[in-house]
Amino acid sequence: MYSKKIKSKKFPWGATALAAPFPSKDIVSIVGSIAGGNRAWGSSEEADVHAQMLLEGTKSHTKKELQLLLDRMGANLSFAAGNERLHFMAKVRPIHASQLLDIIAECLTEPAFPEPELAVLKMREASNLELESQNTTTQANIALSQLLFTKEHPNCDETTNESVKILKRINAQRLREMHTKLLDRRSLVISMAGDITAGKAFALVNSHFKSVPQQGVPLPKFAKAKVLPPKRAKVEIPNKASIDYAAGIATGLTNTSADYPALLLGMQVLGNRSGFSGRLMKTVREEEGLTYGTYAYPAGFTFATDGFLYIWATFAPALYEKGKASIARQVHKIVTEGVTDDEVKKHRQLFEARSRVQLSNSGAFARAAHDTIVDNKPLSYLDDFPKKILKLKTAEVNRALKKYLLQNKLSEAAAGTFE
């Protein structure tokens, strides 16, 4: 029982702390977050630059001084923007846990956003966006997201061109003002796993984060996506040796919906993204030799957001049309003929085994506990959801696939060099 190993504490000042002893001697993994991210900033590019700038210097330490402090502890620390939250991830020896948490709190409460460091970061980010514009996988996925969702929806990605324009107008003053407005200790969740007791972890969180300001800006609301008539998009990128293909359909479901477990397992049977046990890899790749790789799974089902069904493949340009047709045949077959009892049994066991493996290190364990609380679920969900998957019946899986995997409503996007 994973949830029994985790202790939690809700502080009077709002934050939640989680702690779990883990057999990783002399290491503590820390995963935390606070409200913010893409939706709060109104742009994934601006949210990403903001997150990166938090380690570029504070009012007390320069970028170099921060890095030297981390190096002396043998610690690592990073910040990243999600759809709805600003995340931080770290590892450190227990004797330095207090010092590392102090640095995290400092980065959150007194970031300097120094102009010279911002200028360098923007140049580096501009180069990254140039590379992104040539990435067939990324461009296909962006195009598909814009076919399925409105601009306000968390699962709609901004285009690379939009990111380039936003990057140019980012400035330090805007970063400082927005950071101050967004910071809210009540939304803070910090999870620790490893060589640390719950009492010690809770005391450290209370000591270092109690003084974080209590501000907070409500996130903009969005409507659930509707199933729309199918749309098509092609992104032409010259001189590419492969074409990335992405197909999808909105579901209107969240990960708490009754049909979600059965739909998840059904998509795993179709295109299991771990190994070669999904139908797509067995047929389109192994039997027909049409693709380098192809997978299918539910995507975008995070933090009460309604997600979509996603199918991906990569093809040589000469095999693109044949590959698409092969995927279409497999989608038709699984919806009309259904999955078998043997497939359901096999994939139930695969899911449960993978769930265990994913929690086999302290970092993953800390993240799982953190994500469960942020997703507004009880810690018992870590144990209950795999059990729910293990109880699924073939009829339930087939019913969910027929209801949501509507082949005549699948939108498609592709990026690469087309013949």
pLDDT of residue 303: 82
- Per-residue pLDDT band for 275 (boundaries 50, 70, 90) equals confident
Whether residues 296 and 410 share a domain: the answer is yes
Q: Is 354 helix (H, G, I), strand (E, B) or coil?
A: helix
pLDDT of residue 2: 87
Helix 97-109 with 198-209: angle, nearest 10 deg: 30
Is the pLDDT confidence value at 232 over 90? yes
pLDDT tens string 279-331: 999 999 999 999 989 999 999 998 889 999 999 999 999 999 999 999 999 99
- Per-residue pLDDT band for 419 (boundaries 50, 70, 90) equals confident
- Which residues are within 8 A (CB) of 210 and not within 5 positions of it... i.e. 6 or more apart? 11, 13, 185
Whether residues 17 and 133 share a domain: the answer is yes
d(CA 354, CA 347): 10
pLDDT of residue 399: 98
Q: How confident is the model over 119-123, as a mean pLDDT?
A: 98
pLDDT of residue 24: 76
d(CA 141, CA 163): 15
Q: Is residue 330 part of a domain?
A: yes
CATH number of 101's domain: 3.30.830.10
Share of residues in the chain with pLDDT > 90 (%): 93
**Per residue, what are the HEC states of 185-253?**
HHHCEEEEEECCCHHHHHHHHHHHHCCCCECCCCCCCCCCCCCCCCCEEEEECCCCCCEEEEEEEECCC
Average pLDDT over the chain, rounded to an integer = 96
Is the pLDDT confidence value at 360 over 90? no
pLDDT of residue 357: 87
Please report, for the chain, how many H helices and E strands are present, in that order. Answer: 16, 11
Q: How confident is the model over 37-47, as a mean pLDDT?
A: 96
d(CA 49, CA 47): 6
Q: How confident is the model over 55-70, as a mean pLDDT?
A: 98
Whether residues 197 and 288 share a domain: the answer is no
User: Burial level of 214, CB count in 10 A (0-12/13-18/19+)?
Assistant: exposed
pLDDT tens string 189-223: 999 999 999 999 999 999 999 999 998 778 889 99
pLDDT of residue 215: 87
Tally of residues, the chain: 419
Q: Is residue 225 part of a domain?
A: no
pLDDT tens string 347-358: 999 999 999 888
pLDDT of residue 201: 98
Question: Whole domain around residue 50: which residue ranges?
Answer: 3-209
Joined together, the tokens standing for residue 286 give: 């192994």
Q: Is residue 219 part of a domain?
A: no
d(CA 95, CA 10): 24
Whether residues 194 and 270 share a domain: the answer is no
Q: Is residue 194 part of a domain?
A: yes
Whether residues 264 and 384 share a domain: the answer is yes
Chain-centroid distance, C-alpha 7: 25
Q: Is 137 helix (H, G, I), strand (E, B) or coil?
A: helix
Whether residues 196 and 156 share a domain: the answer is yes
d(CA 189, CA 116): 32
- Which residues are within 8 A (CB) of 114 and not within 5 positions of it... i.e. 6 or more apart? 56, 57, 62, 63, 172
Residue 66 · residue 57 · CB < 8 Å? yes
- Per-residue pLDDT band for 274 (boundaries 50, 70, 90) equals confident
d(CA 35, CA 218): 9
Distances 330 to 345, 403, 408 between C-alpha atoms, Å? 20, 17, 14
Whether residues 308 and 360 share a domain: the answer is yes
Joined together, the tokens standing for residue 331 give: 């989608």
User: Burial level of 255, CB count in 10 A (0-12/13-18/19+)?
Assistant: buried
From 209, 241, 270, give the residue that closes a domain: 209
Whether residues 147 and 242 share a domain: the answer is no
Q: Which of 362, 333, 323, 411 is nearest to 144 (CA)?
A: 411
From 176, 209, 242, give the residue that closes a domain: 209
Half-sphere CA count of 321, side-chain side, radius 13 A: 3
- Per-residue pLDDT band for 23 (boundaries 50, 70, 90) equals confident
117: region left, alpha or beta (phi > 0 left; psi from -120 to 50 alpha): alpha
How many structural domains compose the chain? 2
Q: Is residue 216 part of a domain?
A: no
d(CA 154, CA 122): 24
Whether residues 132 and 238 share a domain: the answer is no
Q: For tokens 């979600």, what's the residue?
A: 260
Q: Is residue 278 part of a domain?
A: yes
Q: Is residue 220 part of a domain?
A: no
Q: Is residue 222 part of a domain?
A: no
Q: Is 296 helix (H, G, I), strand (E, B) or coil?
A: strand
Joined together, the tokens standing for residue 416 give: 């690469």
DSSP letter (8 states) at residue 360: S
Whether residues 389 and 262 share a domain: the answer is yes
Whether residues 259 and 401 share a domain: the answer is yes
Q: What is the dihedral of CA 289, 291, 296, 301, to 10 degrees?
A: 170
d(CA 273, CA 253): 21
Q: How confident is the model over 18-31, as a mean pLDDT?
A: 92
Strands 411-416, 232-236: pairing kind:
parallel
Whether residues 297 and 381 share a domain: the answer is yes
pLDDT tens string 127-147: 999 999 999 999 999 999 999
Q: For tokens 């140019």, what's the residue?
A: 168
